[in-house]
């Protein structure tokens, strides 16, 4: 009964399906549940509805992406050979708009937002919708789009595992790093989930790949039948996007001077490169692309500037749900940082943070399930000022109290939100609220 569950239930009802919804949380008083029940949805909440399998004959199970395949309801469905899909699979199956699919370990949201903005600046007909893992279910949009419209879809590995029919006109795999291994069990399984985005593509369709990840690229080129468009920040000769004479180019076309790009950070050049290549494949003019790049400053929860209080700048990077994303954020600033981090314990060590912590962080405030593991990494980095608290609400004022004028206070958790929050969005919104409520003496 999250956003995607509510959305797909409504679409299935509109298609004439009989819909059953099982939610482990108690939905008493939930207005969305009441709306669905009034439309005829059978709802069981607060417990697993395993007995349904003996009472009804199900054709398909739409699984919330974060629910494990080990879940008893899912396992029983698999045992009975019932199709297990995720919400975008249902949405795409009835969609008559063009589909762009974007995945990767990092940069998905920024790239998706950039592409949608570039397309809306340059499409002669129709509209681009940023949907999927970005926070807007595909099913919210599909029943109103036309063939002139475009779904620019951020897709997670969790979603892709339940999308057997996906066949985007353009697919992009920005990068792949070992993450979500508690869910996928092995890195190979995670790679396989990401590659699902191109499983059904044909030679008339396009796959954008990260040429700088040569080991992954080899797998992609063997797996995909799509026409490859390589992207390299190292200016490899095959790359369709390059930086020459301080200009970002697509093939031989000069798009924009690097100094004119508003989106900060070296890491964002990768996201921009993918967005430019996708937009060019969609026939968008350089002028429309440039308009986005000279105005777009970033997405919420991704290195989002929040406020400056007493000469300390606060940044919300709640979307950094893994170590790689946090490293990007920590390495983005020249001023010393007070880092707030912590979250769901997926069984990882945080040794990969040590060098960045040593070079950029003056003090660290840790909370959540990973606090002790992160403290171990902070000690390895030689940090002397390590604070441990229970909650983010406690961490924010303590970080401010420990900071000095001119320092950055960065919230980049390096872990998922689910130990204390329902989503990284909720976590980021709470961080912003706690910052805004700081009392300055």
Cα–Cα distance measured from residue 5 to residue 10, given in angstroms and rounded to the nearest whole number = 9
Token couple for 422: 């329902």
What is each CA distance from 23 to 43, 55, 230, in whole angstroms?
Answer: 8, 18, 42
Q: Which two structure tokens, joined as six digits, stand for 431? A: 């961080």
Contact 150, 124 (CB under 8 A): no
- The DSSP bridge pattern shows strands 241-244 and 227-231 to be unpaired
DSSP letter for 425, please: H
In the numeric block, the tokens 């998922």 are attached to: 416
User: CA-to-CA distance for 220 and 131, rounded, in angstroms?
Assistant: 25
| Residue 251 labeled ligand binder | no
User: Is 140 in a helix, a strand, or coil?
Assistant: helix
Has 319 been labeled as part of a binding site? no
- How far is it, in rounded angstroms, from Cα 213 to Cα 235? 13
DSSP run (H or E) holding 338 = strand 337-341
Euclidean distance between CA atoms 344 and 365, whole angstroms: 16
**Sheet hosting strand 312-316, strand order edge to edge:** 304-309, 312-316, 408-411, 337-341, 361-366, 386-388
Q: How far is CA 410 from CA 148, 149, 364, in A?
A: 41, 38, 10
How far is residue 63 CA from its own chain's centroid? 18
- Cβ neighbours of residue 382 closer than 8 Å, sequence gap 6 or more: 358
107 is in an annotated binding site: yes
Is 298 annotated in a binding site? The answer is no
Give backbone dihedrals phi and psi of 307, rounded to 5 degrees, phi first.
-170, 165
Neighbours of 79 (CB within 10 A): 9
Q: Is 106 annotated as a binding residue?
A: yes
The answer on whether 86 is annotated among ligand-binding residues is no
Q: Is 101 marked as binding a ligand?
A: no
Strand partners, 241: 250
What span, in angstroms and rounded, lies between the C-alpha atoms of 194 and 4? 20
CB 134 within 8 A of CB 154: yes
Binding site, annotated residues for ATP: 104-110
Binding site, annotated residues: 104-110
């Amino acid at each position: 009964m999250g956003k995607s569950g509510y959305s797909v239930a409504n679409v299935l009802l509109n298609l004439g399906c009989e819909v059953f919804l099982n939610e482990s949380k108690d939905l008493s008083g939930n207005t969305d549940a009441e709306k669905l029940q009034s439309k005829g949805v059978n709802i069981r909440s607060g417990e697993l509805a395993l007995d349904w399998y003996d009472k009804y004959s199900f054709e398909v199970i739409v699984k919330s992406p974060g629910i494990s395949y080990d879940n008893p309801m899912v396992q029983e469905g698999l045992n009975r050979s019932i199709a297990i899909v995720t919400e975008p699979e249902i949405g795409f199956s009835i969609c008559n708009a063009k589909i762009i699919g974007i995945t990767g370990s990092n940069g998905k949201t920024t790239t998706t937002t950039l592409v949608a903005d570039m397309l809306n600046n340059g499409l002669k007909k129709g509209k681009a919708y940023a949907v999927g893992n970005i926070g807007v279910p595909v099913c919210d949009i599909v029943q109103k789009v036309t063939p002139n419209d475009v779904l620019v879809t951020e897709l997670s590995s969790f979603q892709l595992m339940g999308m057997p029919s996906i066949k985007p006109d353009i697919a992009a795999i920005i990068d792949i790093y070992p993450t979500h291994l508690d869910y996928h069990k092995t890195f190979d399984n995670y790679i396989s989930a990401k590659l699902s985005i191109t499983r059904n593509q044909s030679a008339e369709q396009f796959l954008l790949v990260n040429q700088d990840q040569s080991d992954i690229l080899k797998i992609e080129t063997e797996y995909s039948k799509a026409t490859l468009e390589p992207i390299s920040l190292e200016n490899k000769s095959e790359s369709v996007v390059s930086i020459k004479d301080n200009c970002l180019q697509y093939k031989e076309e000069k798009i924009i001077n690097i100094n004119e790009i508003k989106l900060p950070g070296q890491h964002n050049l990768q996201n921009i490169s993918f967005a430019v290549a996708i937009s060019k494949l969609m026939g968008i003019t350089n002028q429309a692309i440039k308009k986005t790049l000279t105005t777009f400053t970033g997405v919420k929860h991704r290195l989002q500037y929040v406020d400056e209080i007493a000469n300390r700048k606060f940044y919300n990077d709640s979307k950094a749900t893994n170590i790689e994303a946090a490293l990007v954020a920590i390495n983005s600033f020249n001023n010393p940082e007070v880092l707030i981090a912590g979250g769901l314990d997926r069984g990882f060590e945080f040794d990969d943070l040590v060098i960045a912590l040593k070079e950029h962080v003056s003090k660290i405030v840790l909370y959540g399930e990973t606090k002790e593991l992160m403290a171990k990494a902070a000690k390895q980095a030689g940090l002397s000022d390590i604070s441990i608290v229970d909650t983010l609400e406690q961490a924010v004022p303590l970080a401010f109290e420990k900071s000095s004028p001119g320092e950055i206070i960065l919230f980049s958790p390096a872990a998922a939100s689910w130990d204390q929050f329902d989503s990284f969005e909720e976590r980021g919104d709470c961080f912003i609220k706690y910052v805004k409520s700081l009392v300055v003496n």
